[in-house]
Structure 1
Amino acid sequence: MSDMLDKDRIRLMTKMSIYEKNHKDDFKIADYYRKDYASLKTWITLIWVTIGYAILFVSFCIYSSDSLSADLTIFKLFVLLIAAIAGYIVLLVIYGVCANSFYKRKHAVAKQNVKRYYRNLSRLEKMCKKEKNEQ
């Protein structure tokens, strides 16, 4: 019986060790509340989207500066700015909603994995106690 228990214990320890090695981030993620983690990561995503949008907008303006300045009127400039701002807001909303749901799901999975890890740790402790009692 001890031999079988020993094999189970080694399998469980191996499984837990592989999990620890491959999923280090799960422990960090699970330390946060879901709402806090999702909010923080969503804000970071929105900041990067803003930086990317600004770079693309400036690049577009530089690239098409000749054609824009040739027949630019105040009305065309106003329409261009409104379109750029509207596109930016739509992009932010889409990325914000998607990022928030993605990071909430990621947190839930990490929390579930960490819970399973601690459950296995408890099983391992019971196996060790049982083995000590048998000796």
Structure 2
Amino acid sequence: MVNEEKVKLMNKMALYEEKYGKEDFKIASYYKKDYVSYQTIFTVIWVTIGYVVLFGVFAAAFVETFLSNVGLFAIVLFVLAAVALYLILVVSYGLFASRFYQKKHIRAKGRVKRYIRMLTQLDKFYSKERKKKNE
């Protein structure tokens, strides 16, 4: 005889495993602080790479005209502005990434906890069935 509750529970578990399972288990395996720090550092590194590439493209395209038409003070001012923009980008992306990945870790951890509760319920169903068979 098929237990309808057990089938529904197993269906929920299968849907969870398909949709979120692999990623949630990876995320939940980290402590929140470690996960957030790792992802934030990774984001800052990619922002830095992107900024350097864009700055390099800009510099390659306009370096000759820029250097021939402006003085030393303007060049120093431009470099300071570029560094300030970089710092603003890194700080803003770092804060955004930190908040984003904290929320992501919390949500993943909650889904994993619910999945573990479902596993416990499923185990109770099976232990009841074993008791009935042994009686």
TM-score w.r.t. length of structure 1:
0.92
Task: Name whichever of 41-50 and 56-65 sits farther off.
Answer: 56-65
Give the counterpart letter for 1:19 in structure 2. Answer: Y
**Pair 1:122 & 2:135 matched:** no
Q: Which runs of 4+ in 1 moved over 3 A?
A: none
Could you tell me which runs of 5 or more consecutive residues in structure 2 were left unpaired when the two chains were aligned. Answer: none
Report how far residue 78 of structure 1 moved.
0.3
In 1, the alpha carbon distance for the partners of 2:13 and 2:53 equals: 44
TM-score w.r.t. length of structure 2:
0.92
| Pairing partner for 2:36 from 3, 18, 38 | 38
In 2, the alpha carbon distance for the partners of 1:49 and 1:112 equals: 30
**Pair 1:16 & 2:13 matched:** yes
Question: What is aligned with 1:58?
Answer: 56
Report how far residue 96 of structure 1 moved.
0.4
Report how far residue 108 of structure 1 moved.
0.3
Could you tell me which runs of 5 or more consecutive residues in structure 1 were left unpaired when the two chains were aligned. Answer: none
Across the two proteins, how many residue pairs are aligned to each other?
A: 132
Q: Percent identity?
A: 42
What CA deviation, in whole Å up to 9, does each residue of 1:84-118 have, x standing for no partner? 00000000010000000000000000000000000
Question: What is aligned with 1:76?
Answer: 74
Report how far residue 122 of structure 1 moved.
0.1
Task: Name whichever of 56-65 and 39-48 sits farther off.
Answer: 56-65
Q: Secondary structure at the match of 1:123?
A: helix
Two-structure CA RMSD over aligned residues (Å): 1.2
**Pair 1:28 & 2:26 matched:** yes
